[in-house]
Amino acid sequence: MIRHFVWALRRELWENRWLYLAPLGMAGVLVAGFGVYAINLPSHVAAAATLGASRQRAALLAPYDVAAGLMMIAGLLIGSIYCVDALHGERRDRSVLFWKSLPVSDLMTVVAKITIPVVVMPLIVWACTVAVHLAMLLASTAILAAAGQSALPVWTSVGLAANSLALLYHLLALHGLLTAPLYGWLLLVSAWATRAPFAWAVLPPVAIAFLERVAFGTTHFAHLMLSRLSAGLESMPTPAGGALLDSMSLMPLSQFVMKPTLWAGFAVAAMFVAGAVRLRRSALPL
Partner 1 sequence: MTLRAGAGKTTALNTILGLSPFDGELRVLGRDPWGDRSALMRDVAYIADVAVLPRWIRVSHLLTYVAAVHARFDRARAEGLLANTTISRASRVKDLSKGMVTQLHLAIVMAIDARLLVLDEPTLGLDILFRKQFYDSLLVDFHERNRTILLTTHNVEEIEHVVTDVIFLDRGRIVLRASMDEIDVRHREVRVRPEHVPPARRLRPIDERDVLGQSVMLFDGVALDQLADLGDVRTPSVSDLFVATLHAGAV
Binding site for partner 1 (CB under 8 A): 3-4, 7-8, 10-11, 14-15, 90, 93-106, 108, 281-282, 284-285
Which residue, among 250, 241, 226, has the nearest Cα to 167 in the 3D structure? Answer: 250
The minimum distance between CB 281 and partner 1, in angstroms, equals: 8
Rank residues 134 and 274 by Cβ distance to partner 1 and give the closer one: 274
The minimum distance between CB 125 and partner 1, in angstroms, equals: 23
Per DSSP (E only), the strands in 130-235 are none
Contact 226, 213 (CB under 8 A): no
Name 20's Cβ contacts closer than 8 Å, sequence gap at least 6: 13, 124
Q: How far apart are CA 49 and CA 139, in angstroms?
A: 19
DSSP string, 97-145: HHHTTSS--HHHHHHHHHHIIIIIHHHHHHHHHHHHHHHHHHHHHHHHH
Rank residues 61 and 116 by Cβ distance to partner 1 and give the closer one: 116
Rank residues 104 and 139 by Cβ distance to partner 1 and give the closer one: 104
Rank residues 9 and 165 by Cβ distance to partner 1 and give the closer one: 9
- Phi, psi angles (nearest 5°) of residue 159: 50, 60
The minimum distance between CB 142 and partner 1, in angstroms, equals: 40
The minimum distance between CB 278 and partner 1, in angstroms, equals: 11
Rank residues 9 and 160 by Cβ distance to partner 1 and give the closer one: 9
Contact 83, 187 (CB under 8 A): yes
The minimum distance between CB 210 and partner 1, in angstroms, equals: 37
